[in-house]
Amino acid sequence: MSVQVVDHPLVRHHLTQLRRQETVPAEFRRHVRQLASLLAYEATQDLKERPLRIETPLTSMTGSTVASHIGLVPILRAGLGMVEPILDLLPNAQVWHLGVYRDEATARPVPYYSKLPPGRPVDVALVLDPMLATGGSATSAIEALQAWGVPEVKLLAIIAAQPGIDAVVRSFPGTTIHVCAIDAELNDRKFIVPGLGDAGDRTFNTLESFD
């Protein structure tokens, strides 16, 4: 297992704006899209390729095309904001949704939706969730994907807390985690600190007070 932090000025810029309390939902979604693209760029550097013979306006040449069958797996609902920019990069990727919510009383994940198909799974699954807090939703998703038979699973999170990383490492040491930042702790409500609040509420403009 490895944790890859995308260390780049553009990441820090967009992440700072994402964290700001004053950032309105439309701008929040825009920054999520930018960061999702940068995460996906890093997470897909080792995709398999195959040669492709093409004609340019001037001559023939051999280029390459992605050979891996890729699945994007957003965890509902906050992960939905990361799908479109990654589909722009990987337009042939499959998209499969997993619904997992956190029981506020116990902070444990509760799966409620899965439509992973029978038959041949994708070669690589990218689990999309802006926040890796306790790790409950992520481990539930990875467990479902491994049961489906996916040989390689990568987790893409904009912000991760160390407890969430530790939980994924304990359960799935072969999973690579790609993040924009690692925050040190969770508060008593299991929100990442300093974090950015609830990514789903801020994305879909259903925000309540976090005081």
Q: Which one is catalytic: 44, 134, 198, 202? A: 198
Identify whether 166 is a catalytic site residue: no
Residue 111 lies in a domain: yes
Is 159 within the bounds of a domain?
A: yes
Is 7 one of the catalytic residues? no
Tell me: the pLDDT tens digits for 67-112? 999 999 999 888 999 999 999 999 999 999 988 776 666 667 777 8
- The answer to whether residue 201 is catalytic is yes
Q: Which of 12, 16, 46, 106 is catalytic?
A: 106
Query: pLDDT per residue over 167-202, tens digit each?
Result: 999 999 989 999 999 998 899 888 999 999 888 889
Q: Which CATH number belongs to the domain containing residue 43 in this structure?
A: 3.40.50.2020
Give domain status of residue 13, yes or no. yes
**Is 102 a catalytic site residue?**
yes
How many independent structural domains does the chain possess? 1
pLDDT per residue as tens digits for the range 13-35:
999 999 999 999 999 999 999 99
The whole model's pTM is what? 0.90
The 3-class SS string of 97-160 reads CEEEEECCCCCCEEEEEECCCCCCCCCEEEEECCEECCCHHHHHHHHHHHHHCCCEEEEEEEEE
Give 100-153 pLDDT, tens digit per residue.
776 666 667 777 888 788 878 999 999 999 999 999 999 999 999 999 999 999
